Amino acid sequence: MFKLIIVTSVLVLAIVVGVSWYLPISRNVEVTSNYGEEIYFPVSVALAKLQSLDEVLTFHGTLAPKAQVIVVPKVPGRVAKVHVQVGDSIRKGNVLVELEAHELRLQMQQAQAGLAMAQANLDRALAGARPAEIEQAQANFEQAQASYKNVSVTYERAVHLYEQGVMSGKDWDAITAQYTVASAQLRGAEKAMELVHLGARVEDIAAARASVAQGQAVYELARLSYENARISAPISGVVSRLNADVGGMVGTGTMVVTIVDSSSVRLQVSVGEVDVVKIRPGQQVQVLLNALPNQEITGVVATVAPAAEQGGLFPITIEISNEEGQFKPGMYGTAHIVVRQEIDVVTIPTRAISSHNGAPHVYRVFADTADLVPVSLGLQVQGSVEVQGVALGDQVVVAGQNNLRPGGRVRVTRTEE
């Protein structure tokens, strides 16, 4: 019976002591034993170390070709020849399809003849009269002048005779008519001489020049129509689609050939407003394609949209060299862009950071005491954070700090790497 009382008393004492140890820990107060010994709280610590941090943005998108062109005829017609097939590599300027061009060639020749005629008329107007024409005009003038002199002498005599009443009215009328005709012939010959020496009028020359310009334009249009019957490649690349058969008709809106230039490909991604300000053209990008997971691919930011699209995202284009043609448009990829780097800065685990009065703090352990230290935070990457306020090699508490108070005693049970 006596032994039972002793055992019971020991159990009660143990429970009381256990509770007395538990309550101070849970209330984060300094604890002492019944003998005045201080309690040491177990904690895990990590050392502040030098580390280089990279802020990396990750986006997803699909590959698109450098260029894709749909070729359509500039003139309608019937297909005469098809020079390519799907999958063919072509160079800029290669003939893809030919249309029947007999009528177009005749139209060009007709326009060329019209231009030649207009040019001949202009040349004649600019050159003026020929020497033979000038001599003829001079001879006509001299003849008209001589005739006028003879008629004038006869006319002057007839005037005196008619006034004296010697000449009959019939004879007077005949002489007057001869004089009038001779005068008109002289004026006509004189005017013809003037025109021969002056050449074409300014208005006539201007009209001739306009005819030449019009003829040139008509000829150029006809020539272009004839040349456009040969449909050529506007870019270098690969034929991805063909829609032309010999004997078939095509119009000016018919898609004949589609050409894809994949000498380089572009990864198109969308970026939010917080991240777009960190990205600029020329930045290098690491790209991972789902189809080629083990291949390291480097690209360059080609364009950054100046305005967001309807969804509030900014389109970004990343250009990737593809000389060997292994990257196919439509492949899905992930882009990693390093937008900020901090070299050899003091870092600690983010788990060491706690908030006190709205500001970041850490518990720094020196000897067996934990001091609460305010810190300033910088770049945070994958569980590490750049920090100011602790020195290289300082121990900071990363586990067990919930039970600590400034100046509390601690026992380091684990030091993390």
Cα 347-351-354 angle, rounded to 5 deg: 100
**190 and 271 assigned to the same domain:** no
Is the entire prediction scored with pTM above 0.85? no
**128 and 212 assigned to the same domain:** yes
**Gap between the Cα atoms of 275 and 77, Å rounded:** 53
Of the ranges 14-28, 110-124, 232-246, 343-357, which one carries the lowest mean pLDDT score? 14-28
**Gap between the Cα atoms of 385 and 342, Å rounded:** 11
101 found inside a domain: no
**Gap between the Cα atoms of 399 and 402, Å rounded:** 8
**Gap between the Cα atoms of 362 and 353, Å rounded:** 5
411 found inside a domain: yes
8 found inside a domain: yes
**127 and 201 assigned to the same domain:** yes
Residue type, 109: Q
pLDDT of residue 380: 87
**131 and 217 assigned to the same domain:** yes
Over residues 142-155, mean pLDDT = 82
Of the ranges 47-56, 66-75, 96-105, which one carries the lowest mean pLDDT score? 47-56
Torsion of CA 313, 319, 324, 330, to 10 degrees: 10
**335 and 348 assigned to the same domain:** no
Model confidence at 176: pLDDT above 60: yes
Mean pLDDT of the chain: 84
pLDDT of residue 57: 92
The three state secondary structure string of 370-391 is EEEEECEEEEEECCEEEEECCC
pLDDT of residue 195: 64
> The CATH number of the domain where 236 resides is what?
2.40.50.100
227 found inside a domain: no
> The CATH number of the domain where 357 resides is what?
2.40.420.20
pLDDT category of residue 227 using cuts at 50, 70 and 90: very high
Q: How far, CA to CA in Å, does 38 sit from each of 93, 364, 368?
A: 91, 19, 12
**212 and 120 assigned to the same domain:** yes
Residue ending a domain, among 322, 341, 360, is: 341
**158 and 196 assigned to the same domain:** yes
**195 and 119 assigned to the same domain:** yes
Per the structure, the count of domains in the chain is 5
Domain coverage including residue 322: 57-64+259-341
105 found inside a domain: no
Over residues 18-25, mean pLDDT = 37
145 found inside a domain: yes
pLDDT of residue 24: 39
pLDDT category of residue 245 using cuts at 50, 70 and 90: very high
Contact 220, 107 (CB under 8 A): no
304 found inside a domain: yes
pLDDT of residue 25: 37
**242 and 290 assigned to the same domain:** no
Model confidence at 84: pLDDT above 60: yes
Model confidence at 35: pLDDT above 60: no
Model confidence at 268: pLDDT above 80: yes
Over residues 104-123, mean pLDDT = 91
Over residues 175-185, mean pLDDT = 84
Sheet holding 95-99, edge to edge: 230-232, 95-99, 77-82, 249-250
Percent above pLDDT 90 for the chain: 53
Segments in 129-280 forming alpha helices (H): 131-164, 169-198, 202-227, 273-276
Over residues 302-317, mean pLDDT = 93
103 found inside a domain: no
Residue ending a domain, among 341, 376, 394, is: 341
**Gap between the Cα atoms of 373 and 350, Å rounded:** 15
Question: Alpha carbon 385 to chain centroid distance?
Answer: 40
Q: How far, CA to CA in Å, does 214 sit from each of 106, 107, 118, 210, 299?
A: 18, 15, 9, 6, 53
**Which candidate, 331, 334, 339, places its Cα nearest to that of 269?**
334
pLDDT of residue 19: 35
**299 and 333 assigned to the same domain:** yes
**249 and 271 assigned to the same domain:** no
Over residues 140-165, mean pLDDT = 81
Q: Please list, in sequence order, all residues whose beta carbon lies within 8 angstroms of the beta carbon of residue 188, skipping any fewer than 6 positions away.
A: 144
Model confidence at 379: pLDDT above 50: yes
Contact 91, 236 (CB under 8 A): yes
> The CATH number of the domain where 274 resides is what?
2.40.30.170
pLDDT of residue 230: 95
**154 and 192 assigned to the same domain:** yes
